[in-house]
Amino acid sequence: MNQTLETRLYEAVSRVRQHWRGTRFLDGLEPGVEGTRALLDVARIYRANRLEIGRMRPLVGRAVAGLFFDPSLRTHTSMEVATGRCGAHFVYLQGGEGTWKMEFDEGVVMNGATAEHVKEAAPVLSSYADILAVRAFPKADNRDETVIRAFARYAGAPLINLESALAHPCQGLADQLTLADLGGNNSFQGKKVCLTWAPHPKPLPQAVPLSVVRAAILGGADLHVACPEGFDLDAEEMERVHGFAADTGAKLTLTRDQASATQGALAVYAKGWAATDRERHGELAAKNAHWTVGDEAMKTATAFLHCLPVRRNVIVNDSVLDGPKSRVIPQAANREPVQAALLLSWLL
């Protein structure tokens, strides 16, 4: 029985490797369409056999280092539990707290506050751990990927982006698993998916909405993105992901009309993000307070999704979140199996 599970797991991992040999998971597009499908198959095997795989400890003797420059509940816990269940050791490191203040610029005379350069930190951590995972989402500049790019450059070990300014690829992978659960037959190809902007007091980066777009395109969805004027998603990133649409049959509709976007959708995925003109974010978010997702918007939709944490009665009303259409808990639960799939695909 265990023999069979081990064999199935190993074969599923082998299929990932047929399509993807990379060691960077930064925006989630790296494994491509086939590699992503194979990863999701590994995730499903893990999810259905979590305790049994935990007893097999397939990654015993391995170590994963997680470096968090920003707060985390789901990402930290799901990454650590996935690592531990696979039998590997997880080291939690808090950037800045309990470690040395890190330098990312080149050629600096380091006589100020920073005590350690990423040029040392990344290879040193790579020497101890078999995989690095890094979370860093700079608040000020929406397009600043300094931290994760520096680790990608200097880390010898495989690297997972646990959320940067422009990408939250593990969330995107989990979202594909969740959408495929909703779609039936492990697929949401051709299904209508709605990503809608929603009000949030803070000018948040586009990491999650862009990852939802990537996830929907990789999975071949009929994606409708709704947002008010002044909140359009990053054009360059949208262009880049659009290249995959031809392979997957995905369709992309951009609209200012939340009602039409949610109409009959398999899933309504809500998320707040910053106004393009960040100075005016507060004003523009207040002006569009009616974009909060309520019962009306969910009337003809099947499921409500959100990456969490979610601000209740700002992003979405209690009635939706506590109602039967909310799938945010199983969606969050899917983080563990997709991250386990990544670890297994690299280390098994």
Instruction: State yes or no: residue 327 binds a copy of itself (CB under 8 A).
Output: no
258-287 residues in contact with a copy of itself (CB under 8 A) are none
**Residue bearing tokens 């031809």:** 246
> Least Å distance between CB 185 and a copy of itself?
24
Size of the site for a copy of itself (CB under 8 A): 72
Residue 89: DSSP 8-state: E
126-165 residues in contact with a copy of itself (CB under 8 A) are 127-129
Q: What letter represents residue 95's amino acid?
A: G
User: And the tokens for 292?
Assistant: 């909060």
Burial class (CB in 10 A: 0-12, 13-18, 19+), 59: buried
Three-state SS at 65: strand
> Least Å distance between CB 103 and a copy of itself?
7
> Least Å distance between CB 1 and a copy of itself?
15
Q: What letter represents residue 38's amino acid?
A: A
Instruction: State yes or no: residue 182 binds a copy of itself (CB under 8 A).
Output: no
189-218 residues in contact with a copy of itself (CB under 8 A) are 201
Instruction: State yes or no: residue 116 binds a copy of itself (CB under 8 A).
Output: yes
Q: How far apart are the first and last CA of the chain?
A: 19
67-86 residues in contact with a copy of itself (CB under 8 A) are 68, 71-74, 76-78, 80-81, 83-85
Instruction: State yes or no: residue 89 binds a copy of itself (CB under 8 A).
Output: yes
Among 1, 51, 140, 235, binds a copy of itself (CB under 8 A): 51
Binding segment for a copy of itself (CB under 8 A), chosen from 14-22, 210-218, 273-281, 325-333, is: 325-333
Please check whether residue 67 is in contact with residue 95, taking contact to mean a CB–CB distance below 8 angstroms.
yes
What is d(CA 80, CA 91) in angstroms, rounded to the nearest whole number?
8
Comparing CA positions, the residue from 139, 117, 123, 24 lying closest to residue 71 is 139
Among 11, 120, 229, 277, binds a copy of itself (CB under 8 A): 120
Instruction: State yes or no: residue 5 binds a copy of itself (CB under 8 A).
Output: no
On the CB side of 98, CA atoms within 13 Å amount to 8
Please check whether residue 192 is in contact with residue 264, taking contact to mean a CB–CB distance below 8 angstroms.
yes
Instruction: State yes or no: residue 97 binds a copy of itself (CB under 8 A).
Output: yes
> Least Å distance between CB 199 and a copy of itself?
8
Instruction: Name the residue nearer to a copy of itself (CB basis): 33 or 314.
Output: 314
Among 134, 147, 293, 321, binds a copy of itself (CB under 8 A): 321
Residue 278: DSSP 8-state: G
Please check whether residue 206 is in contact with residue 213, taking contact to mean a CB–CB distance below 8 angstroms.
no
Instruction: Name the residue nearer to a copy of itself (CB basis): 268 or 321.
Output: 321
What is d(CA 331, CA 329) in angstroms, rounded to the nearest whole number?
5
Please check whether residue 338 is in contact with residue 47, taking contact to mean a CB–CB distance below 8 angstroms.
no
Instruction: Name the residue nearer to a copy of itself (CB basis): 51 or 235.
Output: 51
Buried b vs exposed e over 239-252: b needs ≥16 C-beta within 10 Å? eebeebbeebebeb
Instruction: State yes or no: residue 313 binds a copy of itself (CB under 8 A).
Output: yes
Instruction: State yes or no: residue 63 binds a copy of itself (CB under 8 A).
Output: yes
Instruction: State yes or no: residue 311 binds a copy of itself (CB under 8 A).
Output: yes
